[in-house]
Amino acid sequence: MQADSHGKHKAGAQLALFGRVAFDPLTDCEVCKGRLVGREVHRAHHKLCANNRRTQGTVSEVTLKQKKIDENLKKHFSTPLAPEERASSRCLTKEAREAFFAIRNPPSNIAKTSTWKVLVSSTTTTTATDDTSIAETFCKEATAKLHNKAFVDRHADGRAPLAVLAFASVVVEKIVRDKGQTFQCFKDLTLHVPPSKDMHNDPHHHSIVGQKLPLVDWTTLFGLDMQCPGCDGAKLVNDRTNFSKNKLLFPAFGIDGPPSWCMVMSMRCTCCCQRCWANNGRILNKLPAHAATAHPVESKHALPKRCHMSKEATAVFDILMTTCGNGNLCSQLLHNATNRAHVERVTSHRSCGQSFPGSVA
């Protein structure tokens, strides 16, 4: 808008947003201009002048009120604490503690999703016929893996949390190896960790309830025949996922919570034998729109590296990087999103210490 403006302005003067000349106190304020040449002008400064005590260079009442609030807060935070205020627990009253740890009844609709109903016929570890028991079975099997020392030692150096790796192992054993179950249990590409009545007994499982576990497999879940980006028309066939052999999960970071840990299918070309991952940018560019939306990653930034970012994070960073180019700020936003989610989960689990019978705080 500034470049295309044809408004009249002085040569070398700074332009405002809509092409007008920006306010300069040395030329537009009579008081400041008079003082520049040694002449005293007995009048108020221009309302846009920073030396005006009332407006302080702005005509917005909201801005003036906010400045007063900022000054009061600055004075408040600069005042040292009194000795009786240091390490005080005056807000941690008995009533507040009892309200936080009050006994509550478990929700009646917990784990009531149609996703787990399809597992009833194929799961042999339980004789129940409802989806709640299936979710509890998955919870118990994942918890059992977390208490297995061999499993913990084998995945001690993994990038993903141990609870996510344990649940992914159960999903691979019960669902992914059965192609029919994979299509029915994964919504688009994603499977959410289900809640269960026993999730409050184990902090590991409680920490990942609701966590997204995508399976990036376009052939199985969408029935698409993918073509090799290096050969014209050659077909890509599924080989194995990154979790099936190396027990690795691919993170997709976002600014709305913890990262999504993806199981990514590796595909091999039938012509040139080139191996290509299903979340590669060249593969995402070839997808139809209805399939591409199932994996919310911007294809132009889906580079062959060790992590991706969600579309929401990419849209925010596109604006930040063009204005300030601050990579540290972008990294801080991603880390803060994970930290906030972790603190909320810890608080939620601690509040369930006396909420459910038999739960462990």
Residues 154 and 275 in one domain: yes
Contact 163, 208 (CB under 8 A): yes
CA distance 360 to 349: 9
Q: Which residue has the tokens 């917990």?
A: 110
Report residue 87 as tokens: 């390490």
Output the pLDDT for position 70.
86
Decide the pairing of beta strands 275-277 and 212-216: unpaired
Q: Is residue 271 part of a domain?
A: yes
Q: Which long-range contacts (CB under 8 A, 24 or more apart) does 68-76 make?
A: none
Contact 215, 176 (CB under 8 A): yes
Rg of the chain over CA atoms, in angstroms? 30
Output the pLDDT for position 119.
54
Residues 163 and 241 in one domain: yes
Report residue 328 as tokens: 């540290």
Residues 128 and 273 in one domain: yes
Residues 42 and 120 in one domain: no
State how far Cα 141 lies from the chain centre.
27
- Spell out, as residue ranges, where the chain has pLDDT lower than 50: 1-5, 7, 107-114, 118, 120-130, 355-361
Residues 63 and 128 in one domain: no
Q: Is residue 156 part of a domain?
A: yes
CA distance 227 to 272: 12
Residues 73 and 152 in one domain: no
Residues 70 and 157 in one domain: no
Output the pLDDT for position 120.
45
Output the pLDDT for position 133.
63
Residues 140 and 282 in one domain: yes
Q: Is residue 337 part of a domain?
A: no
Q: Is residue 59 part of a domain?
A: yes
Q: Is residue 313 part of a domain?
A: no
Helix count and strand count (H, E) for the chain? 15, 7
Contact 96, 102 (CB under 8 A): no
Residues 160 and 279 in one domain: yes
Output the pLDDT for position 14.
60
Residues 292 and 216 in one domain: yes
Number of domains in the chain: 2
Question: CB 89: neighbour CB atoms within 10 A?
Answer: 6
Decide the pairing of beta strands 212-216 and 260-269: parallel
Name which of 271, 352, 255, 262 is nearest 310 in CA terms: 255
Q: Is residue 188 part of a domain?
A: yes
Buried b (16+ CB within 10 A) or exposed e, 174-203: bbbeeeebbeebbeebbbebbbbbbbbbbb
Looking at 16, 49, 77, the residue that finishes a domain is 77
Q: Which domain holds residue 16?
A: 1-77
Residues 118 and 68 in one domain: no
Output the pLDDT for position 15.
58
Q: Is residue 308 part of a domain?
A: no
Looking at 77, 93, 127, the residue that finishes a domain is 77
Report residue 202 as tokens: 């184990």
Q: Is residue 226 part of a domain?
A: yes
Residues 32 and 121 in one domain: no
Looking at 250, 282, 302, the residue that finishes a domain is 302
Output the pLDDT for position 112.
39
CA distance 114 to 112: 7
